[in-house]
Amino acid sequence: MKIKREFDRLTLLIILLFSVIPLLAIITHNNLIILASFILVILVMIFLRKSVNAKLIQPILDISHKSYLMSSGKLDTEISVASNDELSDLADNINLLAGSLREKIRVLEKSIQREQRVVRELAILNEFIGYVSSELNFEAILRKLIEKTRDLMKSEAGVIILFRPDRTKSFLSTDKLIDEQFIKDMLSVDSGGLARIIAEQKPIRNNNVAIPLSNGNEISNFIALSLHSTTDLQCLLIMLNRDAGFSREDEDSFLNFAFQAFQTISLQSELAKLATTDGLTGLHNHRVFQDRLSEEILRAERYKSKLFLLIIDIDHFKSFNDTYGHQTGDDVLKTMAKIIKECIRKVDFAARYGGEEFVLILPETDCGHTYKVAERIRRAVMDYPFHLKDGTRAGLTVSVGVACFPEDSAEKEDLIGKADKALYFAKDLGRNRACLYRDICEPE
């Protein structure tokens, strides 16, 4: 409305001027007055032109030019019109529109970046799952987890501390300069340290530490997460940087990727366990025993060492099953597995061979120690109180056959056959005893 009033006033002024000049000419017949009037009119027209240009034309051109710049993508352009009229209002509205577009573009760009992060996470996760599905070595899988998490986070180093159900712990690092003591020192800087990370079960990041490395550098930033699985596996996953800090977005990516990756590891571990473990006793199954015996024979050949194979059979177990039922027999087999595991070293290998038979592989030992292990198992079974459902105790015994590599045989199948012959030799002698193959006098 302000511009309209201005034009109305200018129009009225022009009409008055062009009305007055002829009137003066008629009244005065004075050429000088007429000339002066024309000059005045010209000056007024120049003034009007400048006024219209300043108040209308130039603001319109400015709005037009800067609107074009905005439409070309330069939304940071600001239109400035100080006329305090409709053109000023138009400029302000265009500026508001540009600001709104800038905000929407910023939100859209942020959304695109977030989607790109998600796509990248999924691509790395998919690659990791593919690796896990084809890899049986658990340590190799954990190292791959560190590697892929480091790629995702663009971090310089990574660490995993694995806590097993049997309370043992494994430490894996991508950098030889980062050991368990370094991690302890680093976590002690953070309030609450390891206990807080495990308790909170969410990413803990700290971009304000200064833990020196032996090469003169120092770690200034870390992000850590405690991971748990439904299969009682637990680990602490830590990513470290010297310079670049970790952001809130990094926390989200870290949590999403690490959680899904660790659950994949847990599932794969459980599937591998089912595929390699006897479902009743929890010992290794027959297939794993065959593979392990081949590996141990190759190792013994390489290092010129001995290994001993033991086959353990429960005496009269068929009659026991027929008398007391298969459920009671299954309980006995579970107890047998427990007794065997308690009587051997961690480096020894135990498996259920089939039915009521168990096998042991004892690497890097001698005949005397092996015989003591066989006798220890035999006596433990004989003394164990196998209680039946009615409360009575059933007495059970085992017979054990032992063969030695390479003394008794240098071939896997033949070694198994020799241990089996020693077992039946023990049974022929009355059962409830351990016999070495070397004690059997075979005819030539």
Condensed to tens digits (0 to 9), the pLDDT of residues 124-149 reads 989 988 888 888 788 888 899 999 99
* Mean confidence (pLDDT) of the chain: 82
Q: Quick one: pLDDT at residue 295? A: 93
Plot region of 372 (φ>0 → left; ψ -120 to 50 → alpha; else → beta): alpha
Q: Quick one: pLDDT at residue 9? A: 61
Q: Quick one: pLDDT at residue 284? A: 93
CATH 3.40.50.300 fits 135-276, yes or no: no
Condensed to tens digits (0 to 9), the pLDDT of residues 413-431 reads 999 999 999 999 999 999 9
Condensed to tens digits (0 to 9), the pLDDT of residues 218-266 reads 888 889 888 887 667 788 899 998 888 898 888 888 989 988 898 888 8
Q: Quick one: pLDDT at residue 57? A: 62
Residue 272: pLDDT over 80: no
Residue 213: pLDDT over 90: no
The CATH number of 286-439 is: 3.30.70.270
Q: Per mean pLDDT, which of 75-79, 219-223, 390-394 is the most reliable?
A: 219-223
Q: Quick one: pLDDT at residue 271? A: 75
CB 380 within 8 A of CB 342: yes
Greater model confidence, 40 or 283: 283
Q: Quick one: pLDDT at residue 331? A: 92
Plot region of 295 (φ>0 → left; ψ -120 to 50 → alpha; else → beta): alpha
CB 238 within 8 A of CB 209: no
Residue 51: pLDDT over 60: yes
pLDDT band for 443, please (50, 70, 90 cuts): very low
Condensed to tens digits (0 to 9), the pLDDT of residues 298-351 reads 999 999 999 999 999 999 999 999 888 889 999 999 999 999 999 999 999 999
pLDDT band for 444, please (50, 70, 90 cuts): very low
The domains of the chain are located at 1-119, 135-276, 286-439
Point out the residues that are catalytic: 356
Residue 387: pLDDT over 70: yes
The DSSP output letter for 391 is S
* Alpha-carbon separation of residue 195 from 131, 132, 158, 200, 228 (angstroms): 32, 29, 19, 9, 14
Contacts for 192-198 with beta carbons within 8 Å, 24 or more apart?
194/236, 197/224, 197/225, 197/226, 197/236, 198/226, 198/236
pLDDT band for 98, please (50, 70, 90 cuts): confident
Q: Record the pTM.
A: 0.56
